[in-house]
Chain A
Amino acid sequence: MNKEEILSKVNEAFVSVLEHNNFELTDQTTADDVDGWESITHMMIITEVEKKFEIKFKLMDLMNMNNVGDLINTITSEI
């Protein structure tokens, strides 16, 4: 799976949790840039991403995830 494909699936996860698509995800995107992305929805997005990619994140990875780029790198290393 290339980076575009990963990003597109990640995007789907965000849309399904946040119920809107008023955002563009890039490597630098953080919770501050996206409406509704906060502590609780973050947990839901993580679960959704885990399901879509059939992976299970480590808490160590999650605690250092600061932007969408970090999320994609972690996914890449897991699949």
Chain B
Amino acid sequence: MKFVKRLQKSIENHIHNNALCINNSFYTYKDFALTISKIRASIVETVAESEKLIGLVTNDDIETYATIIALWLEGKAYVPVNPATPIERNEKIFELTGTKYVIDSSESSLYHKFSIIDPKESEEVDIDLTPKKFSGDQLAYILFTSGTTGLPKGVPITFDNLDSLVSAIDDEPTFSLNEKDRCLQMFELTFDFSVVAYLFPFLAGSCLYTIPNGAIKYFYIFKLIEEQKLTVLTMVPSIINYLRPYFSEINATDVRYCSFGGGALYKDIAKEWSACLPNSKIFNYYGPTEFTVYSGFYPYHKDTHQKAYNGIIAIGTPQKDTSYLIVNEDNEEVAINVMGELCLAGPQITPGYWKNEERNTHCFFNRQEGNKIVRYYKTGDLCIKDEEGDYLYVGRADFQVKIRGYRVELAEIEFHAKSKSQIKVNMVALDIKNNLGNTELALAIESEEFDTETLFEYMKTKMPNYMIPTQVKFVKEFPHSINGKIDRKKLKAFFDKKLSNQ
């Protein structure tokens, strides 16, 4: 738990710096330390020592961030739920984790089935940030993602996992935050990308800028960049899609780092975006929730580092202590330049899905390497390793579909469809079932209707007939999940129900 100790030191050493900017209000590290200490005191007073998994309603306020740190100082884990998510689902999560206590800063909490701690009601105490002694295999958080069976699946991450993440990022000299940095935190705390967006700034004594609920996200981010002169951006690629029509107005000279993750970064938009950030390094990070946020990155540069596959920027190489392995369907390593499923091993790997033995058997495997047994996590992502040792992202394994017996990579269809289109719009290839129960290919285009004849003629010159979509729908705005990823399931429904393109 070296990083918890380091959090203590960082907060104590930067007591006069700003820690958070929330809805135009600034809070110093001293305010933060006081808030952490008083929440910690009420946790110690109320919660039994044996209760380790504590619910957290993720409001956009200092108490919510302070609660995370307070729980960590006590060796406990936070189980975050988003107040905008239906309460039934959130209660289900607390039931699955056996959570008895919920820390909720909302004006009136809805979680009556649980013991509620209102962090705003806690009494002032002296600052005490000295971490308790506890073992590194204790959990630091559990995040839930949607599961295929309808039941959300929990990914527990330990203090040791987080320690390894911090140590790997420390080891990377090209990314190093300092106390003068002003960092964007645009993520829901139920999304694992948020962990790197708050943890690294707090460890460096930097200031975090959040997005208020109800703000128009894309414009608010630009407002922060412009008015608060942000220096560090951590974001999902979908954000810049929305800002793209305005790129010519953006010249953010203060930004030093821009990290992408949580989705495919496309080469053409990355190049345009990098012109908006003339002094910034751009990192294309890769990593699943199951491997503690980041497992490696590719250092994108518009002139020197623009390696891509089907227009998607490479994911580069694994970070310190992490190993990548590309396997076939029998979990055997494949050769260079051969596509397979990417598997990850190393100290950042989750102990396994929460109470889900079936899934654990399916998603993890052991491999004999020399005289060691190494445990791997199967990411479900298809990748290729090239001669230079860089890993290239191809697509999701579940986006690989079979059409009339042929294996088809949906990302490839998207690449060819987009590369010819005059207007730069989002396109998604989908596999849908037709009336006869056969799989057919469909293309969803995020745009007003336009003539697709030339686009299809072009695709026919690039791909075999079976890869050409047989159905097209124009969708004004693609449905997104809460994490900003395109919701393919919902998009498919546009074809299933034969909905109009309104």
Contact = CB atoms under 8 A, between A and B. Distances in A.
Contacts of B305: none
Interface in A37-72: 38-44, 58-60, 62-65
Contact of A58 (B249, B477, B502): B249
Given A40-B477, A41-B477, A44-B476, A63 B214 contact: no
A72 B3 CA distance: 50
Residues of B contacting A: mostly:
helix
A64 B502 contact: no
Nearest to A58: B249
Interface in B213-263: 214-220, 222-223, 226, 242-243, 246, 249-250
A19 interface: yes
A59 B480 contact: no
A20 to B, nearest CB: 12
B246 A59 contact: yes
B502 to A, nearest CB: 7
Contacts of A43: 216, 218, 242, 477
A41 B249 CA distance: 22
B214 A59 contact: no
Nearest to B227: A63
Interface in A1-33: 17, 19, 30-32
B219 A65 contact: yes
A31 to B, nearest CB: 6
A60 B222 CA distance: 9
Interface in B453-502: 476-477, 480, 502
Interface size range on B against A: 10 to 19
A63 B480 contact: no
A44 B502 contact: no
A44 B226 CA distance: 23
Interface size range on A against B: 10 to 19
A75 to B, nearest CB: 16
A30 B250 CA distance: 26
A63 B220 contact: yes
Contacts of A41: 477
A7 to B, nearest CB: 20
A7 B243 CA distance: 26
Given A41-B477, A44-B476, A59 B250 contact: yes
Contacts of B480: 40
Nearest to A39: B217
Contacts of B502: 19
Contacts of A60: 226, 249
Nearest to B247: A59
Nearest to B219: A63
A79 B219 CA distance: 22
B353 to A, nearest CB: 31
A66 to B, nearest CB: 9
B226 A63 contact: yes
A64 B220 CA distance: 9
B219 A62 contact: yes
A40 B222 CA distance: 15
Contacts of B220: 63
B169 to A, nearest CB: 29
A69 B372 CA distance: 67
Nearest to B224: A63
Interface in B128-182: none
A58 B250 CA distance: 11
Given A40-B480, A65-B216, 5 more contacts: A30-B214, A31-B214, A39-B218, A58-B249, A59-B250
26 contacts: A19-B502, A30-B214, A32-B214, A38-B216, A39-B215, A39-B216, A39-B217, A39-B218, A40-B477, A41-B477, A42-B219, A43-B218, A43-B242, A43-B477, A44-B476, A58-B249, A59-B219, A59-B222, A59-B249, A59-B250, A62-B219, A62-B246, A63-B219, A63-B220, A63-B222, A64-B223
Closest 5 CB pairs of A and B: A59-B246, A63-B223, A39-B217, A59-B249, A63-B219
